Amino acid sequence: MEESVALAALAALAQPTRLAVFRLLVSHEPRGLAAGDVASALDVPQNTMSAHLAVLARAALVATERQGRSIIYRARLDALRALMVFLARDCCSAHPELCTPLLADLACCPPAKAKP
């Protein structure tokens, strides 16, 4: 991931509503949510939500798919993964065991079992 892409993603997530939107979409993977459902869940006016979703889409953090008259938004987990790797790329100065507690905190990404 290029630094400019990481900065765009971090800037998009550095706003409370957008962070809440992204976390909500992550929790609804893989089916995603319609824009109106996102707005309702977070009690945000639909026009305001559209602006927030557009920022997240420009930062490549969400993907859209038209289903009939609705637009379904999904978190781009590949982008999240790439951002996390970018942030931790130089982690632990070649001592991966130091990163194990960090990985253990991620319920979706349990640490690898130690080899005997």
The CATH number given to whatever domain includes residue 30 is: 1.10.10.10
What is the rounded CA–CA span in Å between residue 14 and residue 19? 7
Q: Domain range for residue 55?
A: 3-78
Instruction: For residue 18, give the amino acid letter.
Output: R
**How many structural domains are present in the chain?**
1
pLDDT in tens, 57-115: 999 999 999 999 989 999 999 999 889 888 877 666 666 666 665 555 554 544 444 44
- Domain-embedded: residue 109: no
Region at 91 (left for phi over 0; alpha for psi -120 to 50; beta for the rest): beta
Q: What is the pLDDT of residue 99?
A: 65
pTM of this prediction exceeds 0.85 = no
- Domain-embedded: residue 111: no
pLDDT > 80? residue 37: yes
- Domain-embedded: residue 103: no
Q: Which run of H or of E encompasses 75?
A: strand 70-75
Q: What is the pLDDT of residue 51?
A: 96
Using pLDDT thresholds of 50, 70 and 90, give the confidence band for residue 44.
Answer: very high
DSSP-derived letter for residue 76 is -
Outline where 15-90 has alpha helix (H): 16-27, 35-42, 46-58, 77-88
Using pLDDT thresholds of 50, 70 and 90, give the confidence band for residue 49.
Answer: very high
